[in-house]
Amino acid sequence: MAIPQSFIQELLARVDVVEVVGRYVQLKKGGANFMGLCPFHGEKSPSFSVSPAKQFFHCFGCGKNGNAIGFLMEHAGMTFIEAVKDLAQNIGMQVPEDDASPQDRARAAEQRQKQATLTDVLEKAGEAYRKHLRNSPKAIEYFKGRGLSGQVAKDFGLGYAPEGWRSLASVFPDYQDPLLAESGLVIVNQEDGEEEKRYDRFRDRVMFPIRNVKGECIGFGGRVLGEGTPKYLNSPETPVFSKGRELYGLFEARNALRDMGYVLVTEGYMDVVALAQLGFPNAVATLGTACTTDHVQKLFRFTDSVVFSFDGDGAGRRAARKALDGALPYATDVRSVKFLFLPPEHDPDSYIREFGKEAFAHCVTEAMPLSRFLIEVAREGCDLHTAEGRAHMASNAKPMWMALPDGALKRQLLSEIAELADLGNHELQDLWMPAPAAAAPARPGEFKKSSKFKPREPYAPKAYKRGTRLIPQGRADHAARVLLSHMDLWEDLSTEDHNLLCELAPPHGPLFVWLDQQHHEHGNQAWGALREGLREHESEDLALRVMASAFTLLLDDEGNPMPESLTPEQQRKEAGLELRGILNKILFESLDVQMKEAIAEAAADPTAMQRYKALFERRKQLGLIPQKLAESHD
Ligand SMILES: [Zn+2]
């Protein structure tokens, strides 16, 4: 689904990043900005700043920054679309959905309403389960027996579903409510000719609420107390719960993932909770299914490093193989995927209890890299001493290798597989990638550039020519930074200033042309909204680079952050003076260049001398010409 750019900018103009961030982070006003403890890295004194004027957040500790959409993506793990929808919903804007008929839209609205209702129902059940836990000595005994503290039980919202067929009837007065069945809490059974039976799905089980990345309860896992079957029981698939996409513990782990630098993917919810208790709060688990590409993609939104932990038995091995398939398409060169196999008799919980936290951490460091596991899987059952065995190994490796994204890892693996297959690199490549595809495997950087750079006809109310004017980069950067921070200053500039900036050589000139267009189309916008509009623009990288230094943190004598002392009005005034200063310098330099050109042309072109004089006058007006030089020309 494509959301029109203009809608996104409109949305960002209406939401307040301070309010959005404030939902998750406690912020304190200090001068023009708000400060708080950074949610992306651990810290004791605040270096996380949110600017209402720029509609942007910036951490001076870890460098994370972005607008309201970026914050929800980074912190709450939403996709771009999810973040846009979340913001729009909060301020009552309707996200335009392309090609959606009114019926489709009504259905989508109904669907959203239903989802909200279902999570409410599940949340209410979760509360009841928590209450029951307090009154159930045997459930408490079970958790205590697994070494869990009250705090961890609380963090994960653990509970207990009591015995009895209709315990939930005391929580939901209308036990016939279809929502109870739709949320998976109640089972409706009707056999031919018999009366319909309704009863609680979870009975006499310790309960693990499953939360989505927003922290909403979307389902439950229940473990039987004692010997009943099945041992583990999950909520069924519902409009809010999809096993192939959700990961248990991700909401609870999301901050730890940043602190620890990696995520540990385990086999079950008890592993996750036990690991949190033992000092590894960065664990998650799939919910009774193999790890899918959706799971992996979700994890890579929170961290660049994934460690899959499996029991060393056959089942663990098969699960690892599936996880490998899920991870291959995302194994880019900047990410790390590893596979940790514990001894067959251990799970992470028992391993740490027997050998200690350090030993387990060591296992994680030493875990098998994806490349090695891929080779192991490929050569399994192949006798590499025979040509047949080597060919078989290569054919096993091919689909896995093909699934990898382009990059250095993929190329190295090709060499490795070729060597094992006793083939030359090129032979194997020819075999796997017939000529055209293999002809020019672009380096990732090159590839990205060419696919991203789409020269488009700029909207040009004043018909700017594509600029060639070069000026010192630092100066052009400076002007860009001031104008992207205070777009309203654009109105104060003269046409001469506008032309000067818009006709600078790329990437600066096109950035100012774009800003001029934005000004016509949307009026003044904060940097947070401009940033969104710049996506895929040829000057996007430039804008991000100059804006990275637009945030400053004042420190007092003890190195503690000091509140910004200028009011927004004062800041704007300062910025205006700053911009004038830069523009005068740029003008001056540009006049200088033009004057030199005019002199050079004067011999052949009689009008060149006149042009020179006009330029000289203009330069004098600017008052920037050293007095002596001016006199000598008079
Ligand atoms: Zn930070």
pLDDT at 171 over 90: yes
**C-alpha of residue 76 to centroid of ligand 1, in Å:** 15
User: Ligand 1 center to residue 40 CA distance, Å?
Assistant: 5
Per-residue confidence band for 462, with pLDDT thresholds at 50, 70 and 90: very low
- The pLDDT, as a whole number, for residue 448 is 29
Alpha carbon distance 373, 397 (integer Å)? 11
Centre of ligand 1 to C-alpha 20, Å, is 17
Determine the pLDDT at residue 443: 32
Q: Residue 79 and residue 1: Cα distance in Å, rounded?
A: 12
How much helix, strand and coil, in percent to the nearest 5, is found in the chain?
50, 10, 35
Structure tokens at 521: 């189309």
What percent of the chain lies above the pLDDT cut of 70? 89
Query: At residue 139, what is the residue type?
Result: A
Beta strands in 241-346 (DSSP E): 263-266, 283-285, 305-310, 336-341
Torsion of CA 482, 487, 492, 494, to 10 degrees: 80
pLDDT value at residue 359:
94
Least confident of 28-42, 169-183, 446-460: 446-460
Both tokens of residue 147? 């070494």
Per-residue pLDDT band at 441 (split at 50, 70, 90): very low
146 or 633: which leads in pLDDT: 146
Going from the Cα of 518 to the center of ligand 1, the distance in angstroms, rounded, reads: 31
User: Is residue 316 predicted with pLDDT exceeding 60?
Assistant: yes
Whole-number pLDDT of residue 87: 93
pLDDT of residue 560: 64
State pLDDT tens for residues 232-256.
999 999 989 988 889 999 999 988 8
Torsions phi, psi for 29 (to 5 deg): -75, 130
- pLDDT the model gives residue 500: 85
What percent of the chain clears pLDDT 90, i.e. is strictly above it?
42
CA distance 493 to 513: 14
The Cβ-side half-sphere exposure at 278, using a 13 Å CA radius, reads 23
pLDDT surpassing 60 at residue 296: yes
Q: Give the residue carrying structure tokens 């890299």.
A: 369
Give the Cα separation of 222 and 235 in Å (integer): 9
CA atoms within 13 A on the CB side of 216: 13
285-289, 358-362, 628-632: least confident range: 628-632
Is pLDDT of 105 > 80?
no
When the pLDDT of each residue in the chain is averaged and rounded to a whole number, the result is 84
Residue 186 gets the label, from left (phi > 0), alpha (psi -120 to 50) or beta, of: beta
Mean pLDDT of all residues in 599-624: 81
Whether 467 shows a pLDDT value over 70: the answer reads: no
Mean pLDDT highest for which of 419-428, 555-564, 586-595?
419-428
Return the structure tokens found at 61: 């500790």
**Across the strands, what pairs with 289?**
none
* pLDDT band, very low/low/confident/very high, at 1 (cuts 50, 70, 90): low
Question: When comparing pLDDT for 439 and 161, which is higher?
Answer: 161
The pLDDT of residue 344 is 85
Cα 572 to averaged position of ligand 1 atoms, centre (Å): 27
pLDDT at 122 over 90: yes
Whole-number pLDDT of residue 438: 37
Please determine, for residue 630, whether its predicted confidence score (pLDDT) is greater than 60: no
Alpha helices by DSSP H, 440-567: 444-452, 473-485, 495-502, 508-522, 527-533, 540-548
pLDDT, residue 357, reads 93
Separation of 38 CA from ligand 1 center, angstroms?
5
- Ligand 1 centroid distance, CA of 215 (Å): 22
Residue 248 per-residue DSSP state: B
Ligand 1 centre distance from Cα of residue 37 (Å): 8
Reported as a pLDDT band with limits 50, 70 and 90, residue 561 is low
- Annotate 394-456 with three-state secondary structure: HHHHHHHHHHCCCCHHHHHHHHHHHHHCCCCHHHHHHHHCCHHHHHCCCCHHHHHHHHHCCCC
Say what the pLDDT of residue 71 is: 95
Give residues with Cβ within 8 angstroms of 454, minimum separation 6: 536, 538
The confidence band for 498, taking pLDDT boundaries of 50, 70 and 90, is confident
**Radius of gyration, alpha carbons of the chain:** 31
Question: Using alpha carbons only, what angle is made at residue 183 by residues 159 and 148, rounded to the nearest 5 degrees?
Answer: 15
Q: Give the Å distances, CA to CA, from 283 to 41, 111, 269, 294, 348.
A: 17, 31, 9, 17, 10
Of residues 565 and 343, more confidence is placed in 343
What's the CA-to-centroid distance between 83 and ligand 1, angstroms? 21
In terms of phi and psi (left: phi > 0; alpha: psi -120 to 50; beta: otherwise), the region of 210 is beta
49 CA from centroid of ligand 1 (Å): 9
Q: What is the pLDDT of residues 185-207, one digit of tens each?
A: 999 988 777 888 899 999 999 99
CA–centroid distance, 58 to ligand 1, in Å, is 8
Instruction: Report CA(558)–ligand 1 centroid distance (Å).
Output: 20
**Stretch 438-448: mean pLDDT:** 33
Of 355, 283, 285, the closest CA to residue 323 belongs to 285
Query: What pTM did the predictor assign?
Result: 0.58
Q: Is 574 helix (H, G, I), strand (E, B) or coil?
A: helix
Rounded-to-integer distance, Cα 615 and Cα 621, Å: 10
Of 547, 462, 523, which Cα lies nearest the Cα of 498?
A: 462
Question: pLDDT tens digit string along 580-595?
Answer: 888 988 888 888 888 8
Interval between CA 591 and ligand 1 midpoint (Å): 45
Q: In Å, how far from its chain's centre is CA 160?
A: 35
Q: Given pLDDT bands bounded at 50, 70 and 90, which one contains residue 220?
A: very high
**519-536, pLDDT tens digit by residue?**
877 778 899 889 988 888
Q: Ligand 1 centre from 214 Cα, in Å? A: 20
